[in-house]
């Protein structure tokens, strides 16, 4: 049994072991552990500077394959810790839903940041659903902020729904892309341009610098077509995570977006996120209960066999499963 009071004291006194233990607790899908996690998080978020009023800067980071996110995050994180910040790095990895584990070797991907006393890196949790990964990540953010980490970087691994999920838990969403020969917008979905608050063309170094600047201009033009008049205009900058060029300027734009939101706007955005997260928790809990339902387990194999054999329509199969769950 974990002593919540001792764990809270350890977190607030910035003990790394306590932070790691707390995050392991909130990642757990076991019912008894989830109850303990709720108790812990309730205590941590009772502070007046927690939750929507937390001073921490929450940034989501995504990018096209091969964009160099790891190098960029290490460069940005190291620069921030040298400036006196405490930086937490979390990951939302949809592959952990399929594989049962993270593909991230975070401490090998970010060797310098991983040994920085003012940084804390956590791989994506294993979870049965993307919703479960998101739940664990949001709760890990609360633990890190209670431990006085004032910058939280949430990285998406892969592409797809995880980007929308992460955008719904951070203040500012940063999208990294590359200069591409020919069509600069190839591989960038319109939806990403709609949720990005800052865009950076990475690897703008050496012979690729001019190409990166051209890509930035093209992206800026595309953004004018997808953003309405009077909305925040996402700046498009060029950076090099490898050579640390443009990273300070990019961070200034992140803070500029935060200033654009203002105190009230930021609090309102976070409140909306909390409401959405509330329903996400409900959906995740219902899925867990359905998964562990004795009634559902009793018919699951038969239903699966009949559906795969073409003997049972999906609509009827769903009704049968729900009836088994409701009948408990």
Please state, as a whole number, how many other Cβ atoms lie within 10 Å of the Cβ of residue 129: 16
List per-residue pLDDT tens for the chain, 328 residues long. 678 889 999 999 999 999 999 999 988 878 788 888 989 999 998 877 777 778 999 999 988 778 888 899 999 999 999 999 999 999 876 655 554 444 445 555 788 898 999 999 988 665 556 667 788 888 999 999 999 999 999 998 755 677 888 899 999 999 998 876 444 455 566 677 778 899 998 888 877 777 788 778 877 777 777 666 667 888 998 888 888 889 999 999 999 999 999 999 999 999 999 999 888 888 878 888 898 899 999 999 999 999 999 999 999 999 999 999 988 6
pLDDT of residue 181: 40
* Neighbouring residues of 244: CB distance < 8 A, sequence distance ≥ 6: 75, 79
CATH number of 51-260: 3.40.50.300
CB-based contacts of 135, cutoff 8 Å, min separation 6: 127, 277, 280, 281, 284
pLDDT at residue number 133 = 76
Helix (H) or strand (E) holding 60: strand 57-63
Residues of the chain with CATH 3.40.50.300: 51-260
Report the pLDDT value the prediction gives residue 180, as an integer from 0 to 100. Answer: 66
Strand-pair category, 172-177 with 57-63 = parallel
Strands of the sheet containing 198-201, edge to edge, are 119-122, 87-92, 151-156, 57-63, 172-177, 198-201, 236-238
Cβ(176)–Cβ(151) under 8 Å? no
Question: What's the pLDDT at 262?
Answer: 94
- Quote the pLDDT of residue 220: 79
């Amino acid at each position: 049994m974990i002593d919540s009071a001792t764990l809270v004291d350890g977190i607030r006194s910035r003990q790394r072991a306590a932070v790691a233990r707390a995050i392991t607790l909130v990642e757990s899908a076991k019912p008894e552990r989830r109850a303990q996690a709720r108790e812990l998080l309730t205590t941590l978020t009772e502070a007046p500077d927690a939750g929507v009023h937390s001073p921490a800067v929450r940034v989501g980071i995504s990018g096209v394959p091969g964009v160099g996110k790891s190098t960029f995050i290490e460069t940005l994180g190291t620069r921030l810790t040298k400036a006196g910040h405490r930086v937490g790095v979390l990951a939302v990895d949809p592959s952990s839903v399929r594989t049962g584990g993270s593909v991230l070797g975070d401490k090998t991907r970010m060797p310098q940041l991983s040994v920085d006393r003012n940084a804390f890196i956590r791989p994506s949790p294993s979870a049965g659903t993307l919703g479960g990964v998101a739940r664990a990540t949001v709760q890990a953010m609360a633990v890190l902020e209670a431990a006085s980490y004032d910058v939280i970087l949430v990285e998406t691994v892969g592409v797809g729904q995880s980007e929308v999920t992460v955008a719904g838990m951070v203040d500012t969403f940063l999208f990294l892309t590359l200069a591409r020969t020919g069509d600069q917008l190839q591989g960038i979905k319109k939806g990403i341009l709609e949720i990005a608050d800052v865009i950076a063309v990475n690897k703008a170094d050496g012979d690729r610098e001019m190409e990166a600047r051209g890509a930035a201009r093209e992206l800026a033009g595309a953004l004018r077509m997808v953003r309405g008049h009077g909305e925040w205009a996402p700046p498009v900058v060029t950076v090099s995570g490898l050579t640390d060029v443009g990273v300070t300027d990019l961070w200034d734009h992140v803070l500029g977006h935060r200033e654009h939101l203002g105190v009230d706007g930021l609090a309102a955005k976070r409140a909306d996120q909390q409401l959405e997260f509330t329903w996400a928790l409900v959906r995740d809990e219902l899925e867990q209960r359905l998964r562990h339902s004795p009634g559902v387990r009793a018919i699951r194999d038969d239903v699966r066999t009949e559906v795969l054999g073409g003997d049972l329509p999906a609509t009827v199969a769903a009704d049968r499963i729900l009836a088994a769950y409701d009948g408990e």
